[in-house]
């Protein structure tokens, strides 16, 4: 019964991702179509879904601090472990090691996470998902840039300021972060939305999940493997196994959070490595092939990863 229950939950997600992949693989659509759908999802539909969900939520009932501490304590553990393994076991230099740490801990909580969580847990699951996603990019960006400035790699104060400026610019123009902040402020201010506008946003928000999942499958056709898989395999195992388990432990047993929030946090931690990790690799000119391979490995195994952790949560009573 457990097996079939989880299968029935995850099967529609698998079908949509597979459909997107097959249509692109067979050449039914050009690459420009997948790029357009991804832009539509990330720049309009998913932000609207977040804004609409958060704007009507009672955020005063939800203290984000235990979730942030539980989730990002796990990020710190996995990031540090990935960096140390790359540094002392793989004999990578410091910049390569830090990028390896990012690939081990940075999740695709936006483009993949939002539609997946919506499919699995409904819009109620978007509240903890939005809280996790909102601070992931700034925290990992600032930490990585600061750490890189300390360890060197010829990073001058001028280049550090440039990195920090670029980082700030990316954060301030990120549609998902903007939508999260605006939705939260709207809710906390107690504003009421006219019915015609709310209904319009609902229509657009309802389209976000299927379109995003289709485009996830479409862009997977562009993924590939380059060079050795040793480092990517290690980072992938840290991301898909250690990260979700530590998040589960902190949220369920240290902070004793609700069943929904534990489940959302655990599945969020089991998401593939985020494509923004390539940005870190390019920024520091290190570990580009391994980072790309990690994104590929964690992305093509996403259905199996989510299936495993859903079964785990069911067994644990969540």
Measured from the Cβ of residue 156, the count of other Cβ atoms closer than 10 Å reads: 10
Model pLDDT, residue 5? 67
pLDDT digits over 49-71, tens only? Answer: 999 999 888 887 788 999 999 99
Model pLDDT, residue 159? 58
Residues forming a β-bridge with 107:
273
Model pLDDT, residue 8? 79
Confidence class of residue 84 from pLDDT cuts 50, 70 and 90?
very high
Residue 306, φ and ψ in degrees, nearest 5? -65, -40
Confidence class of residue 156 from pLDDT cuts 50, 70 and 90?
very low
Confidence class of residue 115 from pLDDT cuts 50, 70 and 90?
very high
Confidence class of residue 134 from pLDDT cuts 50, 70 and 90?
confident
For 158-165, what is the mean pLDDT? 63
Q: Indicate the SS3 state at residue 54.
A: helix
Q: Is the pLDDT of residue 280 over 90?
A: no
Complete DSSP assignment for 233-262: HHHHHIIIIIHHHHHHHIIIIIS---HHHH
Alpha helices by DSSP H, listed for the chain, are 2-25, 31-40, 46-55, 64-84, 94-105, 113-121, 126-151, 157-172, 175-189, 195-220, 230-237, 243-249, 259-269, 276-284, 288-300, 302-315
Q: What is the mean pLDDT of the chain?
A: 86
What is the share, in percent, of the chain residues with pLDDT greater than 70? Answer: 92
| 162: exposed, middle or buried (Cβ count in 10 Å: 0-12, 13-18, 19+) | middle
Range with lowest mean pLDDT among 179-188, 215-224, 259-268: 215-224
Question: Cβ(217)–Cβ(302) under 8 Å?
Answer: no
For 264-274, what is the mean pLDDT? 95
Model pLDDT, residue 1? 58
Q: Is the pLDDT of residue 93 over 70?
A: yes
Confidence class of residue 267 from pLDDT cuts 50, 70 and 90?
very high
Confidence class of residue 128 from pLDDT cuts 50, 70 and 90?
very high
Q: How far is CA 151 from CA 93, 97, 147, 148, in A?
A: 10, 11, 6, 5
Residues forming a β-bridge with 60:
none
pTM of the model: 0.90
Q: Indicate the SS3 state at residue 274.
A: coil
Confidence class of residue 2 from pLDDT cuts 50, 70 and 90?
low
Residue 272 has what DSSP assignment?
A: P
Confidence class of residue 107 from pLDDT cuts 50, 70 and 90?
very high
pLDDT digits over 169-216, tens only? Answer: 777 888 888 999 999 999 888 888 889 888 998 999 889 989 988 988
Model pLDDT, residue 12? 87
pLDDT digits over 8-33, tens only? Answer: 778 888 888 889 989 998 999 988 99
Residues 6+ apart with CB under 8 A from 18: 217
Question: Cβ(214)–Cβ(20) under 8 Å?
Answer: yes
Model pLDDT, residue 3? 64
Confidence class of residue 266 from pLDDT cuts 50, 70 and 90?
very high
Q: Is the pLDDT of residue 77 over 90?
A: yes
Q: Is the pLDDT of residue 243 over 90?
A: yes
Q: Is the pLDDT of residue 86 over 80?
A: yes
Q: CA triplet 18, 245, 242: central angle to 5 degrees?
A: 80
Closest C-alpha among 35, 13, 12 to residue 24: 35
Model pLDDT, residue 164? 67
């Amino acid at each position: 019964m457990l097996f079939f229950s989880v299968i029935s939950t995850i099967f529609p997600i698998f079908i949509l991702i597979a459909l997107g992949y097959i249509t692109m693989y067979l050449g039914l659509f050009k690459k420009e179509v997948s790029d357009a759908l991804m832009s539509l999802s990330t720049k309009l539909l998913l932000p609207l879904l977040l804004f609409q969900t958060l704007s009507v939520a009672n955020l005063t009932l939800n203290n984000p601090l235990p979730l942030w501490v539980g989730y990002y304590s796990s990020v710190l553990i996995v990031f540090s472990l990935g960096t140390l393994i790359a540094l002392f076991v793989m004999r990578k230099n410091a910049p390569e090691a830090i990028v390896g740490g990012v690939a081990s801990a940075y999740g695709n909580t936006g483009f993949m996470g939002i539609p997946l969580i919506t499919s699995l847990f409904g819009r109620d699951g978007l509240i903890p998902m939005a809280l996790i996603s909102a601070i992931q990019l700034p925290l990992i960006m600032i930490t990585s840039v600061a750490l890189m400035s300390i360890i060197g790699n010829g990073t001058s104060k001028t280049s550090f300021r440039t990195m920090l400026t670029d980082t700030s610019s990316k954060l301030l123009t990120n549609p998902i972060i903007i939508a999260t902040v605006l939705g939260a402020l709207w809710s906390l201010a107690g504003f009421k939305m006219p019915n015609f506008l709310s209904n319009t946003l609902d229509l657009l928000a309802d389209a976000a999940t299927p379109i995003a999942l289709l485009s996830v499958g479409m862009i997977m056709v562009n993924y590939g493997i380059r060079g050795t898989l040793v480092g990517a395999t290690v980072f992938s195992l840290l991301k898909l196994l250690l990260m979700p388990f530590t998040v589960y432990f902190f949220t369920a047993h240290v902070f004793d959070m609700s069943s929904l929030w534990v489940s959302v946090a655990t599945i969020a931690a089991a998401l593939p490595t985020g494509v923004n990790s390539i940005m870190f690799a390019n920024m520091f000119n290190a570990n580009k092939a391994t980072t790309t391979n990690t994104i590929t490995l964690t992305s093509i195994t996403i259905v199996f990863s989510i299936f495993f952790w859903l079964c785990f949560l069911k067994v644990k009573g969540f």
